[in-house]
Structure 1
Amino acid sequence: MTASRVVALGHYQPAKVLTNDDLAAMVDTNDEWIRSRVGIRTRRIAGPDEPVDELAAQAAGKALAGAGLTPDDIDLVLVATSTAIDRSPNMAARVAARLGMGGAPAVMDLNVVCSGFTHALATADHAIRAGSATRALVIGADKMTEITDWTDRTTCVLTGDGAGAAVVEACPDEAAGIGPVLWGSVPEMGHAVRIEGSPPVFAQEGQSVYRWTTSRLPALARKVCEKSGTSPEELAAVVLHQANLRIIEPLAAKIGAVNAVVAKDVVDSGNTSAGSIPMALSKLVERGEVPSGAPVLLFGFGGNLSYAGQVISCP
């Protein structure tokens, strides 16, 4: 068996910006209320001509360029999304087609909602270790505004659209790669975050999610570090699912990552579900805030009350 590593990242967001003041003209809310409760200032909104696979392909193209690879170098495409409206062809197949891929890549979607990217990253790692793939394109992409109830002020203030992507390839050094995943769920609380109905609409039980994340996740995140042989104090960055700044800040503090940069992309991007972790990580790397090779904790949580996390070496 061989290890795997993330070699390049990319992200993409639509051009249209929706501010808190814009939302205040739509529902009974205001900038101070939104910032005090979720910490969000702005979010990006995709138009009708920007489907999920377009967001995903844009991010993927940037990741491929950063890796110095062509689409034909990829033999596995994984897209984490919960906002694919059509059942077939799946988003991974559509992304492969948009990129002009040849070579018969395997194409799979994973719907694990907000923890989709960390689940997909672990799946790519396992495939490479097992020898069934050599290079993978792992994408988290969601168009959350398409499933948002714009009359519900408790949820419409949260959502945004975007995508992030990572190129993953085999490497000989376990310590320089993707660490062991810790994943699981709380099925009895699966109702706390929902995308249901026809057409589908996003809803959640915010207080239940807040209590669970702030009380249970610190211990799980520390266990991720333990599985990788990394102490929280050694982490250079912590990239949690960008759900709510009021969850991210206390959770990062409770993990004990005292020397780490904490990703807070939610402030400007809102909750982009599966897109949030790779997009936030890509921005940290692009700004030079995390040195190459440094340990980074990724931890996703959300729908199904599923969670998944791993420590990776920063590309």
Structure 2
Amino acid sequence: MTGSRVLSFGHHQPLKVVTNDDLALMVDTSDEWIQSRVGIKTRHLATESESVQDMAAKAAENALARAGLTGAEIDQVVVATCTAVDRSPNMAARVAAAVGAGSPAAIDVNTACSGFPHALALADQCIRGGSATKALVIGVEKLSDFADWNDRSTCVLVGDGAGAAVVVASDEPEISPVTWGSVPTMGHTVRIEAPSLTFAQEGQAVYRWATTALPQLAVQACNKAGITPEDLGAVVLHQANLRIIEPLARKIGAVNAVVARDVVESGNTSAASIPLALSKLIERGEVKSGSPVLLFGFGGGLSYAGLVIRCP
């Protein structure tokens, strides 16, 4: 085998939906204020009894069922998250146990909002290199555990959920080489740090970076896949802000692409946002099987990663 491909996607979100009007009862905000700035209308929040592991396992089981595989057939589990509470065992090991995987390599990736494309690139490279044959790649977050519910600039953003993909070896590569990197001098702009351990960000700095640097990086990712933005069937960015997502597709010339806008109903789910959004697009039949899809994440670190896959 000379490449890898995504066989299926799956996702899970908590049942509890919180509207902007609900948040207006907690902090000084309004539906108009939130929508005008970030485009969010609702978000799903986990209950106290719903853990990161629970959401990740449910998304993984959904992806496995769609792939027609069992957990026992998986030999690598890669979980992208920045909201796992425990240091050890890692989340990948816990998810592996939950889905019945035998003895997989179990790896956590913490690059926050760009976690899923980082994790997907890692699985792709391991399969290409012969270190794995069937991988489970998951993005999952319970950001509500780390939200400052008195800070209207950040608490209105967060959502909880998980998205997963099954990646297998293939004769032809259907996952492009990754375009990834970081801006270490901007690492402080998105953070969950001691002693408060609450989510904080410098939104304007991230917005300026994303709207100026991201278009060129997105085109680079397309070039590595041997396509132009006009060839894209879908664009799935990290679902941080609708005011970043919509202009980017226009700037790079992705004129034929479906643009994921899951941020409107799910909020910012960090590492979960890309697989969650794409899984929903596929479930609704909005992206054709085989069409090229740009995945690009950015945020905490400040880290970024982007690649093009063929839609399963």
TM value normalised by structure 2: 0.99
The DSSP-based 3-state class of the residue aligned with 2:48 is coil
List alignment gaps of at least 5 residues for structure 1: none
Paired residue for 2:98?
A: 98
Q: How many matched pairs?
A: 312
Find the residue that maps to 1:43 and give its secondary structure: strand
Match of 1:282 in 2: 279
1:68-91 deviation digits (Å, cap 9, x = unpaired): 000011000000000011000110
User: What code does the residue aligned with 1:265 have?
Assistant: D
Quick one: distance in 1 between partners of 2:10 and 2:89?
24
Q: Secondary structure at the match of 2:249?
A: helix
Q: Deviations over 1:199-239 (max 9, x none)?
A: 51100000000000001100000010011101000000000
- Could you tell me how far apart the structure 2 residues matched to 1:20 and 1:290 are? 29
Q: What are the equivalent positions in structure 2 for 1:81-160 lying under 5 Å apart?
A: 81-102=81-102, 104-160=103-159
Q: Aligned runs of 1:1-315 on 2, under 5 Å?
A: 2-102=2-102, 104-174=103-173, 177-198=174-195, 200-315=197-312
> Structure 2 counterpart of 1:282, which letter?
S
What's the % identity of the aligned pairs? 69
Deviations 1:15-72 (A, max 9, x none): 0001000000000000000000000000000011111011000000000000000001
Check whether the contact 2:11–2:59 (CA below 8 A) recurs between aligned residues: yes
Q: List alignment gaps of at least 5 residues for structure 2.
A: none
Q: Distance in 2 between matches of 1:11 and 1:197?
A: 30
Q: Distance in 2 between matches of 1:12 and 1:255?
A: 31
Q: Distance in 1 between matches of 2:168 and 2:248?
A: 31
CA-to-aligned-CA distance 1:114-172 (integer Å, 9 cap, x gap): 00000000000000000000000000000011100000000001000000000000000
**Which amino acid is 1:126 matched to?**
Q
Determine the C-alpha separation between the residues in 2 that align with 1:98 and 1:166.
16
Question: Match of 2:69, as an amino acid?
Answer: L
SS in 2 for 1:195: strand
Using the size of structure 1 for normalisation, the TM-score is 0.98
SS of 1:14 mapped into structure 2: coil
- Deviation for aligned residue 1:98: 1.2
Q: Offset of 1:198 from its aligned partner? A: 3.9
Letter in 2 for 1:297: L
Give, in whole Å, the separation in 1 of the partners of 2:154 and 2:49.
24
After TM superposition, the runs of 4+ consecutive aligned structure 1 residues lying more than 6 A away are none
Distance across 2 between alignment mates of 1:192 and 1:30: 25
Q: For residues 69 and 152 of structure 1, what CA distance do their matches in structure 2 show?
A: 43
- For residue 253 of structure 1, report the CA deviation from its aligned partner: 1.2
**Alpha-carbon distance, 1:100 to partner:** 2.1
The farther-off stretch of 193-202 and 273-282 is 193-202
Q: Could you say what secondary structure the match of 1:259 adopts? A: coil
Provide the rounded CA distance (Å) in 2 between the counterparts of 1:238 and 1:166: 17
SS of equivalent residue, structure 1 residue 48: coil
Q: Distance in 2 between matches of 1:293 and 1:247?
A: 26
CA distance, structure 2, for counterparts of residue 84 and residue 106 of structure 1: 18
Cα offset, 1:99, TM superposition: 1.3
